[in-house]
Amino acid sequence: MIQEKFVEKEDKYTELKISSFEVEDFLETEDIGKINESFFTTKVNQDVKEREPIFREEELVNNILQLNLADHAIKERIKVKSSPETLIRKKFISADHFPKIRMISYTGQLSNKTYIILEGINEYGEAGIYLLDQHAASERINKEYFCELYNKLKINRQRLISPLKVEVSPSEKFFLEAHLGEIRKLGFIFEHFGGNTFILREIPTIIEKLPNPDIIKEIVSDITNIGKDKSFGDAKEEIINYLSCHKSIRGGDELSLIDIRKLIIDLAKCKDSFHCAHGRPTLKFISLKELDKLFKRIV
């Protein structure tokens, strides 16, 4: 009798119903790549050949999992880093006489990694969608950073642990020597070492990490070309625009949700949030009302 009660109690703690767990809770990123095509089935009807992945939860668990049970609890539970939903988003729905379509990424970044789709409300209170150009937005943020740095003499630089020795051409040497003070206002602290060699000791904090000497040489060369036939004051905005563009997120850069959220927050703080350093738009708005007109829901 005592033994029967013990077994009954033990069963209570060790019984596990697979269906009560989400499979993705157990999967690691590398496990996702092991999912066999047999776990996805295709529904096809006479009108549309729709590739609709159906996930067989129990079959997947039985094939790739070993559950380690302790006396009274599961000691090990592997957390998810990716899920089958991510794979579904990457699959196009293909059918005759119908465009090839798939869902956008969970970040809203389109496949060309240049534009991001967002939802929002404009200044008139209209709901709709925004298209964000990630490079244009980043360029605007950087321009206002450099303008503030220059105009307010704000100390926003970082000292290099190992100063960079930069070799320049004679014309670049002349430009640097003549404008060291102005260039300092942009966050770059150069010192003449001798001959055509300069030492870079500090950089703007926006650069974040130790720059490559070749990149610094390229920057010096480009700002010299911009300013060689005019005063630094006349060339200042063009140089700032160049530095803003040089440091910006590029079209083609893949961004995480955290990257995109930071980009939006920083853009919102700008004095001119809607134009890049060269005047191109950063955001375009399409209202839900415009979409209703497009689909002839309203006239």
Contact yes or no for 158/205 (Cβ under 8 A): yes
* Residues forming CATH 3.30.1370.100 domain(s) in the chain: 105-299
Q: Helix (H, G, I), strand (E, B), or coil: what is residue 212?
A: coil
CA dihedral 257, 258, 263, 268 (to 10 degrees): 100
Rg (CA), the chain: 29
Q: What is the pLDDT of residue 228?
A: 80
3-state SS, one letter per residue, for 105-167: CCCCECCCCCEEEEEEECCCCCEEEEEEEHHHHHHHHHHHHHHHHHHHCCCCEEEEEEEEEEE
Q: How far apart are CA 22 and CA 90, in angstroms?
A: 21
pLDDT for residue 266 is more than 50 = yes
β-partners of residue 45 are none
| Residue in 143, 147, 149 with CA at minimum distance from that of residue 276 | 143
How would residue 155 be classed by pLDDT, with cut points 50, 70 and 90? low
Query: Using N-to-C axis directions, what is the helix angle for 213-227 and 232-247, rounded to 10°?
Result: 150
Q: What is the pLDDT of residue 78?
A: 39
Contacts of residue 269, Cβ cutoff 8 Å, sequence gap at least 6: none
pLDDT for residue 198 is more than 90 = yes
Mean pLDDT, range 263-276, rounded to an integer: 96
Q: What would the two tokens of residue 26 be?
A: 């157990």
Strands across the sheet with 157-167, in order?
A: 157-167, 197-204, 189-194
Q: What is the pLDDT of residue 4?
A: 55
Type of residue at 39: F
* Alpha-carbon separation of residue 288 from 97, 105, 129, 295 (angstroms): 28, 21, 7, 11
Give the fold, CATH level 3, of 105-299: Ribosomal Protein S8; Chain: A, domain 1 (3.30.1370)
What mean pLDDT value characterizes the chain? 77
pLDDT for residue 183 is more than 60 = yes
How would residue 210 be classed by pLDDT, with cut points 50, 70 and 90? low
Contact yes or no for 114/252 (Cβ under 8 A): yes
Q: Which residue is associated with the tokens 């092991």?
A: 34
